[in-house]
Amino acid sequence: MKILSIFVFLLCVGIVFSRSADVSVMLPLDTISNDGVLNNYDHLSWELDQLVSVGTDAVMTDCWWGIVQRGGENSYDFDAYVELTELVKSKGLNMQFVMSFHKCGGNVGDDCNIPLPDWVLEPARNADLLYKDQWGNVDEEYLSLSADNVKFVNGKTALNLYYNFMVAFSQSLSDYINDGTINEVQVGMGPAGELRYPSYPSDRWSFPGVGAFQCWDKYLLNSWVSYATAQGHAEWNSPPTDAGGYNSVPSDTEFFTVGYYSDYGVAFLTWYQDMIVQHGNDVLQQAQYAFMNFPELGFAAKIAGIHWWYDDGSHAAELTAGYYNVYGRSGYEPIEDMLRGYGSAFDFTCMELYTQDQPAYAKCDPEAVTEQIMGECDDNGTEFAGENALEFYDQYHYNMILEHSNKHNINRLTYLRLTDTLMDTNNLNTFAGFVYDMHNLN
């Protein structure tokens, strides 16, 4: 009774118990050059000082497969990443790394080109282990999930290669993991590092097209046929061919008007999502093995903020990306469940966007999809982290992030990204206010 009285008194006098979320800043994509050199050391050091001055908790950076192993399968060059981490540590900041098993170049905001290592890409091409659409277009941004269990590089699968990379990383930077400087690893699982199919590649797609299913390499085709046959439908021997093209709208297609809720559509979409969730599970399992000696290290996985066509019954753009999210069925709960099993955060990527600012014809609803996912994570106990999708510096967009964050549990917000524009005095002051607010959530 006495404790309750004290609590009521504190509320009456205006003392509020607040929650805190860490704020990280994503470093430039080319922080490390293609030949493995830390760029602009002195300027970066000054920028980090500015971030510290406004209360930033951490920085995040990509650890690029195409840079670290540019010299061959048995060659790992983490020297520049060690130098970077030492610099970050000297500022009193934490460091978060993305295991970037994808290509840089071609996505929104990409300003450099870092392809997959040649010794990976060439045998993958030859073995049909890259994602492919129904027209034969091949995507070279990330290996097909088919590669997870096919030996194509000196008797090794993609999962073997991911594991070896992460073990080498843990060995090279073990001191910084042990002392807590490196406190999180985000494990790349697809294009742009996101757990999804490359359904909207920039060279074939433009907003707000529905995208295209990416399951036409021979292994995924065989997997679908086997799945359909096991369901008693050997006649379902092809993925959908009536789903339009990359830049179609749902109403122009048969699949996204009626096909998606047919028996065939339900079976296909279930299989299509199950495959990407299994891929996430398998890659995270390799990460858990690789970092098993570092029990305090956190994990995260990035999920795309696909908000266009969210208010259409088909959720077409989500479906082609592998998120089977339609009325009566969450496309994100299977991912949340999988991530929670590994203690991994669900890192979602469109927290700053307002629905009212999106074009009505695209039936966008970034606020609703963010609320759906954050609410589910609250309910099922999955750790949630967030990012902004597009570059911004104004209070208006910070307010949208704060609105979501004050209503739901959030562990970390990663701001994309560190730029000269952010260092402008007015912009930095606005960012400082945002950091303060994230540290003092309702």
With contact defined as beta carbons under 8 Å apart, do 350 and 340 qualify?
no
pLDDT tens, residue by residue, 6-25: 444 444 444 445 799 999 99
Residue 101: name the closest of 83, 77, 81, 121 by CA.
121
pLDDT at residue 198 is higher than 60: yes
Predicted confidence at residue 106, as pLDDT, reads 60
With contact defined as beta carbons under 8 Å apart, do 344 and 356 qualify?
no
d(CA 233, CA 351): 41
d(CA 99, CA 177): 15
pLDDT at residue 147 is higher than 60: yes
Mean of pLDDT over the chain: 95
> Among this protein's residues, is 194 annotated catalytic?
yes
* Identity of the amino acid at 125: R
pLDDT tens, residue by residue, 353-365: 999 999 999 999 9
The neighbour count for residue 157, using CB atoms within 10 Å, is 19
Which of 194, 367, 376, 383 is the catalytic position? 194
Predicted confidence at residue 5, as pLDDT, reads 47
Give this prediction's pTM: 0.94
pLDDT at residue 105 is higher than 80: no
Beta-carbon contacts of 134 under 8 Å, excluding residues fewer than 6 positions away, are 212, 213, 216, 239, 241
- With vertex at residue 336, the alpha carbon angle to CA 391 and CA 275, rounded to the nearest 5 degrees, is 95
> Among this protein's residues, is 387 annotated catalytic?
yes
Which of 141, 352, 376, 387 is the catalytic position? 387
d(CA 298, CA 288): 10
Mean pLDDT on 142-160? 98
Predicted confidence at residue 6, as pLDDT, reads 40
* Identity of the amino acid at 313: G
Predicted confidence at residue 18, as pLDDT, reads 75
- Report residue 112's pLDDT band, with 50, 70 and 90 as the boundaries: confident
Could you give all domains of the chain from N- to C-terminal order, each with its CATH number? 21-438 (3.20.20.80)
Q: For residue 112, give the 3-state DSSP assignment.
A: coil
